[in-house]
């Protein structure tokens, strides 16, 4: 293979060096951020020697070349184009800047929630296990010594992440906004300070204390923000703006003392007096709307959302769903969104599995089979981008299967006691309704598999050979995509993003 020739042809088909904003690569893919997408000829790119596939994701044009090959082509590419290599993080940042404000906001939510998912998953799993043990113990299925240190400590650990969730969110949000994360954590602490009435007690005890604000202009309830997400993010954003402005105007000799003091005091006052009450109302309105949709008669709302879930993964909108999960957990004690996501994810896996089993092309099988396994574990990007979207009909089959599974979940009121994990392991969050969860999975998988198996047909060999690679390369590409999804998590220790 002539790596320089391949690099030159890729450059020609993406509009030349003047059309490139940044270039980077991962284990298997060349990642390009280009100024004008209309100048990129995807069909021509797919026929370049060595190219195994081409797709767009997160504002990047990603060209699959395979392990080992991508490094050599990349070196030639940047040499011919006369550009400087970018890191993967820099390429992602450049891609973000190309996106509209809505997609940037969605990306920001992902940056906030992805790092804290491991903590939520740990607590969610443990909470589900403890609830199941309590149920079995109360009904004499098993006998547990509830005074033992293991039981008492496990019970204590199970809700810790959710008890202090606002602090975790505030810390992560401050980092995402470019502010001091420890000041952000303080804002989170203010919002759940023990001096405020616990929000969970209001339903039974009523509001105990009110406080006049803005020199007697109006009164606010002195209630904490346990269970709330959006007010915390908005409060930390205000703090980040204020902190950055203060750094510019406060003399250096006073900056260390004055900036943190004013940032925390002003933001804290505005949060309790205005930001909190306003955005609690807005957040509750959104949650009520989602719950209304999911509880439409005969599960019709869930049918639609289950079918549309995979397309939101393609657009990246799914990064906001963790906020919905957390809001529902606080409001209803369970999230009815996560089972819907699980159905959609395993359905895409089943559609890819059908392709792998039906296809006579070994190269297609080598991509479809490991991709389907990844989707059953809750990571759908390899199956969606690598298989289902390319052949399209399997993608539609997956959407139909996801909708059917979500329909059943709505009818039986299937809810999860935590968030962060979908697919097979999602059952650990639904231990109070394990049979219903398994039935939902079976429906989603069965419908998607049958439809995909019926409607999928192999493409012509020439077309296939231009779009597929050997099994080692595809497995590496699966790992590369999964690494994108989990990058923030692995820096420290998802829904995954439920994608």
Is 26 considered catalytic here?
yes
What DSSP assignment string belongs to 188-225?
HHHHT-TTSBPGGGHHHH----EEEETTTTEEEE-B--
Residue span(s) of the chain under CATH 3.30.1360.60 come to 3-98
Confidence of residue 461 (pLDDT cuts 50, 70, 90): low
**Whether the predicted pLDDT of 53 surpasses 70:** yes
Name the pLDDT band for 443 (thresholds 50, 70, 90): very high
pTM over 0.75: no
- Which residues contact residue 354 at a Cβ distance below 8 angstroms, ignoring those fewer than 6 apart? 394, 397, 448, 449, 450, 452, 453, 456
The answer to whether the CB of 155 falls within 8 A of the CB of 145 is no
Residue 325 pLDDT greater than 90, yes or no? no
Count other C-beta atoms under 10 Å from residue 132's C-beta: 18
Condensed to tens digits (0 to 9), the pLDDT of residues 275-309 reads 999 999 988 888 888 888 888 888 899 999 999 98
What's 234-303 look like in SS3?
Answer: HHHHHHHHHHHHHHHHCCHHHHHHHHHHHHHHHHHHHHHHHHHHHHHHHHHHHHHHHHHHHCCHHHHHHH
> pLDDT value at position 491?
39
Q: How far apart are CA 95 and CA 35, in angstroms?
A: 10
The class (CATH top level) of 3-98 is alpha beta
pLDDT in tens, 64-104: 887 778 889 999 998 998 887 654 455 556 555 656 676 67
Active-site position among 26, 399, 404, 430: 26
Output the pLDDT for position 99.
Answer: 62
The average pLDDT across 451-474 equals 62
Residue 209 CB contacts under 8 Å (≥ 6 apart), including other chains? 197, 221, 222
Mean pLDDT of the chain: 84
First to last CA, the chain: 35
Paired tokens of 290: 């989602």
pLDDT classification of 488: cutoffs 50, 70, 90 = very low
The rounded distance, in Å, linking the Cα atoms of 111 and 173 is 8
At 21 the pLDDT is: 86
Give me 161's structure tokens: 């992440």
pLDDT greater than 50 at residue 499: no
What share of the chain in percent tops pLDDT 90? Answer: 40
Averaged pLDDT for residues 471-494:
46
| pLDDT for residue 480 is more than 60 | no
| Class of residue 490 by CB neighbours under 10 A (exposed 0-12, middle 13-18, buried 19+) | exposed
pLDDT digits (tens, 9 = 90+) for 6-48: 999 999 999 998 888 888 887 778 888 888 888 888 888 988 8
Greater confidence (497 vs 246) lies with 246
> What pLDDT score does 365 carry?
87
In whole angstroms, what is the distance from residue 345 CA to residue 352 CA?
A: 11
């Amino acid at each position: 293979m002539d790596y320089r020739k391949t690099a030159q042809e890729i450059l020609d088909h993406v509009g030349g060096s003047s059309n490139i904003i940044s270039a980077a690569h991962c284990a298997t893919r060349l990642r390009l951020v280009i100024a004008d997408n209309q100048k990129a000829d995807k069909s021509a790119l797919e026929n370049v020697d060595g190219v195994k596939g081409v797709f767009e994701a997160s504002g990047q044009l990603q060209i699959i070349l395979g392990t080992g090959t991508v490094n050599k082509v990349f070196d030639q590419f940047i040499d011919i184009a006369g550009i400087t290599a970018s890191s993967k993080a820099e390429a992602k940042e450049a891609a973000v800047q190309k996106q509209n404000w809505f997609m940037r906001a969605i990306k920001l939510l992902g940056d906030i929630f992805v790092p804290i998912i491991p903590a939520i998953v740990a607590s969610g799993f443990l909470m589900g296990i403890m609830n199941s043990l309590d149920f079995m113990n109360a009904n004499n299925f098993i006998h547990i010594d509830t005074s033992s240190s293991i039981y008492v400590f496990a019970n204590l650990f199970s809700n810790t992440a959710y008890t202090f969730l606002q602090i975790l969110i505030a810390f992560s949000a401050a980092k995402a906004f470019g502010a001091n994360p420890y000041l952000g954590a303080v804002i989170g602490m203010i919002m759940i300070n023990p001096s405020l009435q616990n929000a969970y007690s209001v339903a039974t005890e009523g509001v105990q204390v009110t406080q006049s604000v803005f020199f007697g202009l109006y009164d606010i309830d002195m209630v904490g923000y346990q269970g709330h997400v959006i007010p915390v993010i908005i409060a930390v954003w205000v703090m980040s703006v204020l902190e950055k402005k203060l750094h510019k105007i406060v003399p250096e000799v006073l900056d260390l003392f004055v900036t943190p003091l004013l940032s925390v005091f002003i933001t804290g006052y505005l949060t309790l007096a205005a930001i909190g009450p306003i955005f609690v109302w807005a957040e509750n309105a959104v949650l009520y709307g989602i719950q209304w949709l999911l509880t439409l008669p005969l599960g019709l709302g869930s049918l639609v959302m289950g079918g549309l879930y995979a397309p939101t993964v393609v657009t990246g909108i799914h990064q906001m769903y963790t906020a919905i999960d957390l809001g529902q957990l606080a409001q209803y004690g369970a999230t009815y969104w996560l089972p819907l996501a699980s159905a959609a994810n395993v359905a895409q896996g089943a559609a890819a599995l059908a392709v792998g089993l039906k296809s006579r092309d070994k190269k297609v099988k080598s991509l479809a089979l490991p991709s389907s396994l990844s989707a059953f574990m809750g990571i759908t990007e390899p199956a969606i981008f690598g298989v289902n979207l390319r052949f399209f009909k399997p993608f539609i089959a997956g959407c139909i299967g996801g909708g059917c599974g979500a329909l059943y979940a709505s009818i039986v009121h299937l809810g999860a006691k935590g968030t962060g994990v979908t697919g097979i392991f999602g059952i650990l969050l639904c231990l109070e309704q394990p049979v219903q969860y398994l039935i939902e999975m079976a429906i989603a998988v069965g419908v998607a598999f049958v439809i995909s198996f019926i409607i999928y047909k192999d493409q012509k060999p020439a077309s296939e050979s231009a779009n597929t690679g050997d099994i080692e390369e595809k497995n590496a590409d699966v790992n590369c995509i999964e690494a994108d999804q989990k990058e923030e998590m692995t820096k420290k220790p998802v829904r995954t993003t439920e994608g």
